[in-house]
Amino acid sequence: MRLLTLIGLVGLLGACSASKEEQQETTQVPDSVYLYRGDKLVAQTFDTLRNSLLSAIADKGFPHAIDFCNEQAYPLTAIYQNDSVSIRRASARFRNPNNRPDSLEMAALADFIVNGPSTKIIRTRDQVHYIKPIMMQAMCLNCHGVPDENIKPETLQAIRERYPTDQAINYAEGDLRGIWHIAFTLKR
């Protein structure tokens, strides 16, 4: 009986020890791993969004792209999420109120304005946050550029109908548009 109790205690201690080691390993994963995983997720998500958007534009034009983004951007972004990974886009000048930045995202955006945009890893108690700048590209100006210069009147009308409080216009190519924010939840 003592032998069985001793074997049980050793097994229990081993399980606790493994769990503690697993926790330490999870929190000690180097930033480079999160940078790699974040880059991969952003590339996949961006490609999915871009290709779907290009298809919608080719099908019915830029005004239709506004409806498409309103209805499909979130479900398409969610494809690559799971219980331990969340993906979102945020901007200080958001079109969709769901893209309003939280305090961490606002701090990252402010840092990009002061120090220039670059991909960052920010660690909090329970998460590792991958933050990557979204820079304005030429094609994006059709919906986010200057009205009557880049944005055609029918597209601007669609924006105003879908997003009456829109702030996401008057950008130029190369401007900081917002951020990708991927949160990796740490196992505790």
Q: How confident is the model at residue 10 (pLDDT cuts 50, 70, 90)?
A: very low
Instruction: Assess if residue 1 is contained within a domain.
Output: no
What would the mean pLDDT of 121-144 be, rounded to a whole number? 96
* Dihedral pair phi/psi, residue 90, rounded to 5°: -140, 155
- Work out how many domains the chain is built from and give that number: 1
CATH assignment of the domain containing 70: 3.30.450
pLDDT at 6 > cutoff 80: no
Range of the domain at 83: 30-185
Question: CA-CA distance, 95 to 104, in Å (whole number)?
Answer: 19
Question: CA-CA distance, 163 to 65, in Å (whole number)?
Answer: 13
Instruction: Assess if residue 19 is contained within a domain.
Output: no
pLDDT at 14 > cutoff 70: no
Instruction: Assess if residue 2 is contained within a domain.
Output: no
The identity of residue 183, as a single letter, is A
